[in-house]
Amino acid sequence: MTSPTTVHADDARASLEALRTEIGKAVVGQDSAVTGLVVALLCRGHVLLEGVPGVAKTLLVRALAASLELDTKRVQFTPDLMPSDVTGSLVYDARTAEFSFQNGPVFTNLLLADEINRTPPKTQSSLLEAMEERQVTVDGVPRPLPEPFLVAATQNPVEYEGTYPLPEAQLDRFLLKLTVPLPSREDEIGVLTRHAAGFNPRDLQAAGVRPVAGPADLEAARQAVARVAVSPEIAGYVVDICRATRESPSLTLGVSPRGATALLSTSRAWAWLTGRDYVTPDDVKALALPTLRHRIQLRPEAEMEGVTADSVLNSVLSFVPVPR
């Protein structure tokens, strides 16, 4: 007989799988990015979406928010944005002759940080405490953020003009870095067909996007993910992959132990989403690139030769022995 907890977990899985359908009403052909966002929700992690302008990065996050019963806010990062514009600030109240704290947009469940690398590092770093500690400290007073809390940041490729590369410390706070590619010809025709039929990306409700999951589903799902079994062989496999990046001649910076724990977490979430209560090597391989690509640093000479983070990771995955 199935226990109520198992039933609830199965219901939560079905609700999260329904997110794909809802988001698909607004965004065409970005299944891997949608999956990454769901994995991040399960792991209580943050997501960095990278792609050229115009590939629906912002629309993807807005569609996710519309599919969840969560509060959401958006911040457009610009060169003149100040840290207090994100976190909030103390404001003088003439009626009481006292300062009171006014919440910034970071006090939400799902924060869309749009074009985060168009603002200088000082403002980028204002999110560090929020992302790591899930609180904001102003005037020495820590103020907790709502739960759940997820930062979904979009960025343009760093070679574009007017971008400031994110510091390594902040990159490491993102659980996943998802690349949003240009659509295939068929998908692009689908996009144009929708627009010709009257689709308005600014009115997701008219497109039929409805909330299909909420905080209760997320909590049940997270508890289920925490019960996914990890064998010693799988733990050793994750460690071997990360240690191999530290020895790669193409890299000046390999994956840290924090990256290894992140890969283990995302692999467990993916295993649960696919209906298993244990992690396999294929789960680790499936999440290795999005979990690790932003945690390694290429040597300048390797970059000049056309080596990419993904190609280094694929090479590592090809020669690290897979446990049987």
Instruction: Specify the 3-state DSSP secondary structure of 72.
Output: strand
Q: Are strands 88-93 and 297-298 parallel, antiparallel or unpaired?
A: unpaired
- Which stretches of the chain drop beneath a pLDDT of 70? 1-7, 158-162
Q: How far apart are CA 76 and CA 83, in angstroms?
A: 13
Which of these, 74, 72, 99, lies nearest to 86 by C-alpha position? 74
Q: Is the peptide bond before 183 cis (omega within 30 degrees of 0)?
A: no
Q: What is the pLDDT of residue 245?
A: 94
Per-residue burial over 225-254, b = 16 or more CB atoms within 10 Å of its CB, e = otherwise: beebeeeeebeebbbebbebbeebebbeeb
pLDDT number for residue 189? 92
Region of 278 on the Ramachandran plot (φ > 0 left; ψ -120 to 50 alpha; else beta): beta
Query: Angle between the 31-43 and 57-67 helix axes, to the nearest 10 degrees?
Result: 50
Which residue from 293, 270, 243 is spatially nearest to 17, judged by alpha carbons? 270
Q: What is the pLDDT of residue 27?
A: 86
pLDDT at 160: 61
User: Quick one: angle between helices 31-43 and 215-226, nearest 10?
Assistant: 80
Number of H helices, E strands in the chain: 14, 11
CA 174 – CA 191 distance, rounded (Å): 29
* Amino acid in the structure at residue 194: R
- CA separation for the pair 125, 178 (Å, rounded): 20
Q: What is the per-residue pLDDT for 154?
A: 87
**pLDDT for 159:** 56
* pLDDT at res. 7: 41
State phi, psi for 189 to the nearest 5 degrees.
-65, -40
Threshold 0.85, pTM exceeds: yes
The confidence score (pLDDT) of residue 1 equals 37
Tokens at residue 136, please? 């904001």
How confident is the model at residue 162, as a pLDDT?
A: 64
**pLDDT of the residue at 176:** 95
